Amino acid sequence: MNTMTTDELTIAIAVPLEAEYVEQIRAVDPSVTVLYEPGLLPPERFPADHAGDPAFKRTPEQEARYWAMLNRANVLYGFPNESPAGLARIAKSNPHLQWIHAMAAGAGGAVKASGLDTETLRKFHVTTSAGVHALPLAEFSAFGILNGFKRSAEMAQDQAAKFWPELRTPTKLANGSKVVIAGLGEIGMETARIARALGMRVSGTKRNVGTIEGIEEVTNNDGLPSLVADADAVVNTLPGTPYTEKLFNKDIFSAMKPGTVFVNVGRGTVVDEDALLEALDNGQVAYACLDVFAVEPLPQDSPLWNHPRVLVSPHTSALSAAENRLIAERFCSNLRTFLDGGELPHLVDPVHFY
């Protein structure tokens, strides 16, 4: 619960952001002070480039001004320098910090990577932009499922070889097929909505098991083997935590029926990539559409790059031209809640990091 009075609240914009969205934040409440110095922030190379141009360097005087600005604030929009190291530094240097809003939907990994202890992390809130990326990730998941069902990888190979097969191979209908979504949060539920629009039957996992309208069966992750046994497609939206690490292992892939399509838009650490490659080679997985990987950038020697039934996406499926606007709108909504003394949504757990 927020106990701060509004006349004390100062917000610092720590990452690149268009001036129109800064003004939108200022407009939430006249008592709020917003610190924004675009000359101290790296230019964006593309929409929602929260880290900005890596070639950008502050002078020593600018660097001092940047950190002085952040240390004046009670609330930060973005991690300093959009990095775990920046988070660690501000947590130690700003004693009146109360809340940081992260640009990522899954900011738990960055919070964990900061190395801050639980006691320090309990001194302020970290909220994520969960939900902002739900629609683009759900669309990408549908794209991956349809690619697998419609054999786009094989068609691309035939086209490259200028090969017209004598025997035509049928494709799979989405309508009537079953998809299992690991992680029925905002991203998972938006994926389910699109899947149902395609006529698919949807089941999935959730930490708190309960009935969800439109979802045939809901279990926790322990029930995943039985769910995937008759699935035509499986989508992972789960974050990377100690509890989800390599959840998709050899046992889970072996439980799938041959020819399953696998899509990962959650975190790469949730998947045992060696087990996935084995499943691709033995036919349990017919096609894998992957936006995230255990190590990023994906190492040059990874077999995933050249596998004929794998699509490698460089962790870009959540990006859209509307992202900065959507995150700013989410922050403004959260700010109003904060000022009114309400509970902030999408808080990062300082123990489990999700």
Would you say residue 102 lies in a domain? Answer: yes
Domain that holds residue 303: 134-312
Is the same domain home to 56 and 108?
yes
Sheet holding 285-290, edge to edge: 218-219, 201-205, 178-182, 233-236, 260-264, 285-290, 310-312
**What's the number of domains the chain is made of?**
2
CB-CB contact of 348 with 127 (8 Å): yes
- CATH code of 37's domain: 3.40.50.720
**What's the CA dihedral at 142, 224, 311, 108 to 10 degrees?**
90
Supply the pLDDT for residue 105. Answer: 82
Is the same domain home to 117 and 162?
no
Supply the pLDDT for residue 130. Answer: 86
Is the same domain home to 156 and 225?
yes
Give per-residue pLDDT as tens, 124-159: 999 999 889 999 999 999 999 999 999 999 999 999
0.85 cut: is pTM over it?
no
What is the bridge-based pairing of β-strands 125-127 and 99-101? parallel
* Cα–Cα distance measured from residue 179 to residue 200, given in angstroms and rounded to the nearest whole number: 7
Catalytic residues: 267, 296, 315
Is the same domain home to 150 and 293?
yes
Would you say residue 345 lies in a domain? Answer: no
Is the same domain home to 35 and 46?
yes
**Looking at the DSSP assignment, which residues form a beta bridge with residue 205?**
182, 219
Single-letter amino acid code for the residue at 350: P
Supply the pLDDT for residue 60. Answer: 98
Is the same domain home to 34 and 159?
no
User: What are the structure tokens assigned to 295, written together?
Assistant: 């190590």
Is the same domain home to 118 and 147?
no
Give per-residue pLDDT as tens, 15-55: 999 999 999 999 999 999 999 999 999 999 998 999 999 99
Is the same domain home to 200 and 148?
yes
Supply the pLDDT for residue 7. Answer: 58
Positive or negative: CA dihedral 228, 230, 235, 237 = negative
Would you say residue 349 lies in a domain? Answer: no
The ranges of the chain with pLDDT < 70 are 1-7
* Cα–Cα distance measured from residue 86 to residue 276, given in angstroms and rounded to the nearest whole number: 34
Q: How far is CA 277 from CA 65, 266, 307, in A?
A: 49, 18, 9
Is the same domain home to 156 and 240?
yes
Would you say residue 44 lies in a domain? Answer: yes
Supply the pLDDT for residue 1. Answer: 38
Would you say residue 1 lies in a domain? Answer: no
- Which run of H or of E encompasses 26? helix 19-26
Is the same domain home to 152 and 291?
yes
Is the same domain home to 117 and 159?
no
Is the same domain home to 146 and 127?
no
Supply the pLDDT for residue 248. Answer: 98
